[in-house]
Structure 1
Amino acid sequence: MHAIGIDIGGTKIAGAVVDELGGIVRSSRVPTPVDTAALEDAVVEMIGELEAGERVDAVGVAAAGFIDAAQSTVYYAPNIDWRNEPFREKLEARVGGSVVIENDANAAGWAEFRFGAGRMVSDMVMLTIGTGVGGAIVAGDRLFRGGFGAGAELGHLRLVPNGVACGCGQHGCLEQYGSGRALMRMANEIADAGGIGQSLARAREEHGALDGTIVGGLIAAEDPGAVAALRHLGRWLGEASASLAAVLDPQRFVFGGGVAVAGELLLAPIRESFLEHLPARGYHPEPDFVIAELVNDAGVVGAADLARVWVEEHA
């Protein structure tokens, strides 16, 4: 049973035919149109292209934003002009088959749970460390969505009262301390301070500004200033993970996104901070901390598999 997964990003739409084991049979990619009507057309065209010559039983579409519990309506999308958009209904009318809509972080987390770093556990939390912080929760082998479908927005866990302003309208969210954007802010602060920040300061002067590629390269080279920024970021993520463990008690934390390519350099401070902030340390079982495995394919693989699950459950 093959399913199609579509992952709508801010700059590109990725799609793939995915088999029952999470393997990609065929894939496609196009730029994301700005106009919503053109975006819908692009998704429909991609589905038609991918299903040609294949037996496809379901289509899953992943996008950033709040999706209702019925996996049908997009309440709100931050990068697309969708407000209470009945996207599933529109697509099903045009493609003639079952379509499921899912939050992109949920789709990526589900893919890791089923086919990647979350295999062999029943309860998992995934944090995707990109420009912001995405979240996914699997509890008792099932994806957690919440009563309204908008759960697991872990990037907006309040971490620092009256802290840094967040785009969600609040202050002190994890996203402002544990994201790629936060890493850039910390790297610039270390560059301003001199000392171990000299390499960061030189790179900033040479290029006009620090970006993820520059800081990532310095981290890979184990530059003291860049690694210090990463450790600071990791400590915030570890503190947040301890709070999440107190509520969710996962067996495993999975970290994905661009910053996660740092691997153990990121995981080490996360583990240290987690243990420092874990309630009842010494008596509370300790979860694993691992890096995501599926990388850029997680969104399409997860969207396809969630669509397959939906069809099986509603057959």
Structure 2
Amino acid sequence: MALAIGIDIGGTKIAGAVVDELGAIVRSERVPTPAGDAAALEDAVVEMIRALSVDAEISAVGVAAAGFIDAAQSTVYYAPNIDWRNEPFREKLEARVGASVVVENDANAAGWAEFRFGAGRMVSDMVMLTIGTGVGGAIVAGDRLFRGGFGAGAELGHVRIVPNGIACGCGQHGCLEQYGSGRALLRMANEIADAGGIGQALARAREAHGALDGAIVGGLIGAEDPGAVAALRQLGQWLGQASASLSAVLDPQRFVFGGGVAVAGELLLAPIREAFLEHLPARGYHPEPDFVIAELVNDAGVVGAADLARLWVEEHA
């Protein structure tokens, strides 16, 4: 089988893997991300590619990173967590590793992996929303990954859902990321804790630990604490409302939800479905998509990056 390397550059770690054409991981590596040093980060990626290439015939290398990537899958216009501005990352890596390199947005890579090998199998049109600290997005339309005219499309976390709403790091106000992310879930949980009533367990946990974090709220959701579940339902309502608007434009057969918050499973999907149907245009006459949880979890980035690189080389051979 043709083998490719996938590299997923995260805020705290760089994950790498050799991946076969069926999406199976043959070998993997992880190292800390030197996020404050672009040169050191490049060196770390190069060393990982070299290590993974030992005793393996590699057809291509795919690198997934957060940020805006050009349509040629070559230059990083902007990366939020790395000092990259118009960075010709593909050119630099190819010069050092002697292999074909493709650079891809991390959410696109993860979404492609789910489409090809995970929760998006058997459909041609899919939307994935990754619910982590922020909200990432990926769109597959007609079996092809949608990137947009400049390569920076599918930034679904920055679809505005509340006019003049909460300020977002992108410079706008009212983006989905401020209402449907892990950070938003913590804000909602703190508001419920402040209100008393069903928020008493949240308030006690906050007092005991000094602050609420994702692990604390996630544990209370897992225990089906009423306050924590109420915060999750608020989050799901916003995601469902946004999904209805996305459905009006993209008409996907399936919505896939990934990221740390998605481990809540049906507790998250139930309010998403409810709000989706409440806000769906022409309800009753519009075919309804499936709503599912992502399957590949932490492997999606490396698997998707590797597969996209392998396909790019095949198309351009």
What TM-score range do you get, normalising by the shorter chain? over 0.9
How far apart are residue 180 of structure 1 and its match?
0.1
**d(CA) in 2 for partners of 1:157 and 1:235?**
15
The 10-residue stretch of structure 1 (27-36 or 109-118) with the greater mean CA deviation from structure 2: 27-36
Deviations 1:29-61 (A, max 9, x none): 000013100100000000000010001000000
Q: TM-score, normalised by structure 2?
A: 0.99
**d(CA) in 2 for partners of 1:68 and 1:309?**
18
**d(CA) in 2 for partners of 1:121 and 1:17?**
26
The 10-residue stretch of structure 1 (122-131 or 33-42) with the greater mean CA deviation from structure 2: 33-42
How far apart are residue 244 of structure 1 and its match?
0.1
How far apart are residue 169 of structure 1 and its match?
0.2
**d(CA) in 2 for partners of 1:65 and 1:298?**
17
How far apart are residue 69 of structure 1 and its match?
0.1
Determine whether 1:15 maps to 2:21.
Answer: no
SS in 2 for 1:72: coil
The 10-residue stretch of structure 1 (31-40 or 297-306) with the greater mean CA deviation from structure 2: 31-40
The 10-residue stretch of structure 1 (31-40 or 295-304) with the greater mean CA deviation from structure 2: 31-40
Which stretches of structure 1, 4 residues or longer, exceed 2 Å deviation after superposition? none
Deviations 1:263-292 (A, max 9, x none): 000000000000000000000000000000
**d(CA) in 1 for partners of 2:89 and 2:277?**
43
How far apart are residue 87 of structure 1 and its match?
0.2
**d(CA) in 2 for partners of 1:218 and 1:97?**
47
SS in 2 for 1:191: helix
How far apart are residue 243 of structure 1 and its match?
0.1
How far apart are residue 209 of structure 1 and its match?
0.2
**d(CA) in 2 for partners of 1:29 and 1:217?**
27
**d(CA) in 2 for partners of 1:55 and 1:31?**
26
**d(CA) in 1 for partners of 2:40 and 2:198?**
49
How far apart are residue 63 of structure 1 and its match?
0.1
How far apart are residue 142 of structure 1 and its match?
0.1
Which residue in 2 is equivalent to 1:54? 56
Deviations 1:96-122 (A, max 9, x none): 010000000000000000000000000
SS in 2 for 1:218: helix
How far apart are residue 3 of structure 1 and its match?
0.2
**d(CA) in 2 for partners of 1:287 and 1:142?**
18
Identity %: 90
Q: TM-score, normalised by structure 1?
A: 1.00
How far apart are residue 258 of structure 1 and its match?
0.2
Deviations 1:225-244 (A, max 9, x none): 00000000000000000000
SS in 2 for 1:47: helix
Give the counterpart of 2:197 among 195, 198, 221.
195
Give the counterpart of 2:179 among 177, 180, 189.
177
**d(CA) in 2 for partners of 1:160 and 1:119?**
33
How far apart are residue 144 of structure 1 and its match?
0.1
Segments of structure 2 that go 5 or more residues without pairing to the other structure are none
**d(CA) in 2 for partners of 1:261 and 1:37?**
35
**d(CA) in 2 for partners of 1:313 and 1:278?**
38
Segments of structure 1 that go 5 or more residues without pairing to the other structure are none
How far apart are residue 7 of structure 1 and its match?
0.2
How far apart are residue 300 of structure 1 and its match?
0.2
Cα root mean square deviation, aligned: 0.3
The 10-residue stretch of structure 1 (110-119 or 30-39) with the greater mean CA deviation from structure 2: 30-39
The alignment of Structure 1 onto Structure 2 pairs a total of residues equal to: 314
SS in 2 for 1:122: coil
Which residue in 1 is equivalent to 2:255? 253
The 10-residue stretch of structure 1 (28-37 or 226-235) with the greater mean CA deviation from structure 2: 28-37
How far apart are residue 185 of structure 1 and its match?
0.1
**d(CA) in 2 for partners of 1:19 and 1:310?**
15
Which residue in 2 is equivalent to 1:28? 29
